[in-house]
Structures are given as C-alpha cells and as structure tokens.
Amino acid sequence: MPHIVTDNCDGCRFTDCVSNCPVACFHGNDERLFIDPDVCIDCGACIPACPVKAIYDVVVMPKEFTRWIAINAEMVTQLPVISGKQVPKPAAEAQKLRLGF
Ligand code: SF4
Ligand code: SF4
C-alpha cells in the first residue's frame, strides 16, 4: 500500500519530501504534490521530511484522509514528475504557521 499526500500540502513547495525520496514518484502542479502509488516503494522517508505532516502511509492514516488515495492516483496521471527540491511558494512559511507547525 502506498503513501499519499493530503491537503496540508497546498501552497507549500518546500519539496523536502522529494529530496528524501529514492524513486521518482512525486508529481506536482504549481500548488502541491501527489504520490504515484505504482512507483512508491513505501520506504517512509518522505514523512519526517514534510514540515506540515501532509504525507501519510495509507495503512495507518486517519480515515478522514481516505479520499486522497484516489485523488493521488488520478492526479499523477495528469501532472509531471517533480524530481528535485524547488523554491517554496511565497506564502509557504505563513501556511506552515497557520497549520500549527
Ligand atoms: S514537503 Fe510536504 S507540504 Fe511540502 S511539497 Fe512535500 S508533501 Fe507537500
Ligand atoms: S514512501 Fe518512500 S518511495 Fe514513497 S513517496 Fe515517500 S519517500 Fe518516496
């Protein structure tokens, strides 16, 4: 079972998650990222890297995030692979504070 990105990722682009990932499973648009369930090897390395706890292992995630399994699987078919760390969004630090991190 894969890992998924949830809505705390909106407006981030710190992309520390991508730096920790040993495979090319992150895809993204201008606002956020998604994980390809067919490429993710479930190593868990991205979870501690994310500063806003946006990533979950679907086996142990809270049920409120179930809908993100299908969203991640769908969105990666439409978006390019993000292969390295990128410049954070201008409001990323404010978003992090707003979320309580
Ligand atoms: S570090 Fe977390 S919030 Fe930032 S891009 Fe990665 S998954 Fe999204
Ligand atoms: S669990 Fe591992 S392989 Fe899957 S997205 Fe996170 S770092 Fe990449």
Task: Map out the domains of the chain with their CATH numbers.
Answer: 3-91 (3.30.70.20)
Shortest-distance Cα residue to atom 3 of ligand 1: 9
What pLDDT does residue 96 have? Answer: 94
> Which of 26, 42, 56, 85 to probe ligand 2 with, by most ligand atoms within 8 A of CB?
42
Q: Is the CB of 14 under 6 A from ligand 1?
A: yes
34 lines ligand 1 (CB under 6 A): no
Residue with CA at minimum distance from ligand 2 atom 4: 40
pLDDT in tens, 36-53: 999 999 999 999 999 999
Q: Could you tell me the pTM of the whole model?
A: 0.96
- The structure tokens listed for 7 are 């809505």
Classify residue 23 by its DSSP letter: S
pLDDT confidence of residue 1: 66
Answer whether 89's CB lies under 8 Å from 33's CB.
no
